[in-house]
Amino acid sequence: MTSFRPTFLLLSMLILLTAMYRYTALEVRHAVRFASALTALRLHDAELNRDLLLLRGGDLLHYDSINHAIGQIRSDLSTLTALPGELAPQVETLKRMARYKAAQLERFKSTHALVRNSFAYFLHLQEALTDEAPVFPALGAAMLQFMRRPDPRHQRSLSDLLDTLPAGKNGRGTHLEAHTRLILQRLPELEEILANLLTTPLGITATRIASVHESHLDTLQKRADRFRLALYLTAILLLAYLFHALRRLQRAHRRLGEEMRQRLDTERQLLQARKMEAMGTFASGIAHDFNNLLGSIRGYGVLAREQLENGQSPYHALSRIEAIVGRGHELIQRLLQFARPGGDDLTPLAPAAVIEEALGFLTPTLPEAIQVSFLNRLNDRCRIAARAGELQQVIVNLVRNAAEAIEGEGKITVTLEPAGSDTILIRVHDSGRGIPPSRIERIFEPFASGKPGGLGTGLGLAIVQRIVRDHGGRIGVESEPDRGTEFIIELPKGLKSCRRPKKP
């Protein structure tokens, strides 16, 4: 349900935005293209009309530019036809006009070419003949009038003059007459065609359509503006949501950091408490040892007194007492070292000695039916970087757990062996009841004690794991129910090679 809502929201937003895009953005683009094609059409039509007038005035002497203009008009119209819109009937009107104009244009070119040609030739001949008879200058003047405005009056005066040309014409006179007659016949026709062309309201119609289209475009653009506004609001909304999410994330991060710090503090306190707990465990072993020492001291004390009474030197007994006291002192030193809070630097030490010592403390406190053995497969020079107290704590915890897993008789084996070139392994194996598979995954978590009846604090293995990690190592466990459990600790490389030289 919680994941359904954002997905639904996202999907509906996507559909909405896509619809708006398809509906408005594309339509606006088409409408803008329509408008620009209309503008181009008006420009090209104006260009065509301008060039027609230039041609008529004799200032333009070729038809390339009008051919180009009508070609452009045709392509503008095909652009307009290709675009969807409600103005299709109007575009059809434009096309009809353009077709009419194109047809008139062909007539214009052919007729215009004839008239221009004849006029050029007329001027040439008239100039050459002008001194031969007075009719020729008059003919020239009448022709200019007619060329300027080919109305019936000028037409009549020109043709009247033509009839008075001297008979017995020479070749040039014949040509002059032929060309004049051609102009007389074709110029009014050319004027009519030109009028047809210039009055075809292609440009005006396009302008009218453009103004209709403009209001349509305006509506579309307003709609597009609304779309843009919607997009803007959506963006703002998303931004607000993003900000909110970020704030929440930040708060969660801070809370998590605080929790972590508290946890570490508790763990550190627990570590120390655990150490003290171990000390308590050791107490009986220590008491036993001290009892032995005290017994020996008393024995040697009695011996020394007897020797003094017998006048013998008590030297030997006293030096024994001194040695025993020295051992007692040593024992106390080590106890103190164990109890000291952690934080020491890693120091090079011989792992075997540390483990032997821990086992020395521990063994007397275990039930007699449990046999503890230690197998050292490292060479004697092997040193690892570690804190002795912590390492001992690990062994004590694991061995005690192992002992608790054994009911009645059993065996605990601690093995120290090289692994690979840069690590050593500490294995603690017991023949106890094993750990059920359901619990094995969570065994290193705090408060996951497997001891019945709330005997354990549930912190033992968590502390072990923490210590191993602090040493840069790893810990794993393998267990078979009713067959036993083995904890395997991998610690980083010894300072010297820990591998025993291979026997030849």
Partner 1 sequence: MTRIVVFLLWIVLPPGPLFSAEPLLPLPPPPAVSRDKAALGERLFHDPRLSGSGRLSCASCHRLESGGDDGLPLPSVPTGPYPHNTPTVFNAVFNFRLHWYGDLHSLQKQALVALQRDMQVDWMRVLKRLRADRLYPRLFKPLYGIIDADGIIDALVTFERTLVTPNAPIDRFLRGETAALTPRQRQGYRLFKQYGCSACHQGANIGGNLYQKLGIFGEYDTRDPGRFAITGKSEDLRIFRVPSLRNVAVTAPYFHDGRVETLEKAVALMAEYQLGTRMSKEDIALIVEFLHSLTGHYRGRALGDMP
Binding site for partner 1 (CB under 8 A): 54, 59-64, 67, 71, 106, 109-110, 113-114, 116-118, 120-121, 124, 171, 175, 178-179, 182
**43 bridge partner residues:** none
Cβ at position 177, least distance to partner 1 in Å: 10
d(CA 126, CA 123): 5
Half-sphere exposure of 413 (CA within 13 A, CB side): 12
Nearer to partner 1, 128 or 249 (CB): 128
Q: Are 432 and 402 in contact (CB under 8 A)?
A: yes
Phi-psi region of 482 (alpha: psi -120 to 50; beta: other; left: phi over 0): left
Cβ at position 206, least distance to partner 1 in Å: 22
At 165, phi and psi to the nearest 5? Answer: -60, 140
SS3 320: helix
* Residue of 339, 377, 344 lying closest to 361 (CA atoms): 339
d(CA 73, CA 41): 6
Cβ at position 124, least distance to partner 1 in Å: 6
Cβ at position 182, least distance to partner 1 in Å: 7
Q: Are 442 and 453 in contact (CB under 8 A)?
A: no
d(CA 158, CA 156): 5
d(CA 288, CA 463): 28
Cβ at position 31, least distance to partner 1 in Å: 26
Nearer to partner 1, 64 or 86 (CB): 64
Half-sphere exposure of 46 (CA within 13 A, CB side): 9
Cβ at position 118, least distance to partner 1 in Å: 7
Nearer to partner 1, 65 or 281 (CB): 65
Nearer to partner 1, 66 or 414 (CB): 66
Cβ at position 217, least distance to partner 1 in Å: 24
Cβ at position 125, least distance to partner 1 in Å: 9
DSSP secondary structure string for all residues of 169-220 = --HHHHHHHHHHHHHHHHHHHHHHHHHHHHHSTHHHHHHHHHHHHHHHHHHH
Nearer to partner 1, 118 or 431 (CB): 118
Cβ at position 46, least distance to partner 1 in Å: 16
Nearer to partner 1, 139 or 467 (CB): 139
Nearer to partner 1, 42 or 179 (CB): 179
Task: List all residues 6 or more positions away from 146 whose beta carbon is below 8 Å from its beta carbon.
Answer: 154, 155, 157, 158, 183, 184, 187
Nearer to partner 1, 106 or 258 (CB): 106
Residue 348 CB-density burial (10 A; 0-12 exposed, 13-18 middle, 19+ buried): exposed
Cβ at position 103, least distance to partner 1 in Å: 10
* Residue of 69, 42, 45, 97 lying closest to 208 (CA atoms): 42
Nearer to partner 1, 59 or 380 (CB): 59
* Residue of 78, 79, 74 lying closest to 30 (CA atoms): 79
Question: Strand 423-430 to strand 384-386: parallel, antiparallel, or no bridges (unpaired)?
Answer: unpaired
Element (H, E) at 425: strand 423-430
Cβ at position 115, least distance to partner 1 in Å: 8
Which spans in 4-151 are helix H?
4-20, 26-57, 64-82, 88-129, 135-148
Nearer to partner 1, 117 or 272 (CB): 117
Cβ at position 159, least distance to partner 1 in Å: 17
Nearer to partner 1, 61 or 336 (CB): 61
Residue 338 CB-density burial (10 A; 0-12 exposed, 13-18 middle, 19+ buried): buried
Distances (CA, A) of 176 to 127, 128, 173: 11, 11, 5
Q: Are 377 and 500 in contact (CB under 8 A)?
A: yes
Nearer to partner 1, 62 or 503 (CB): 62
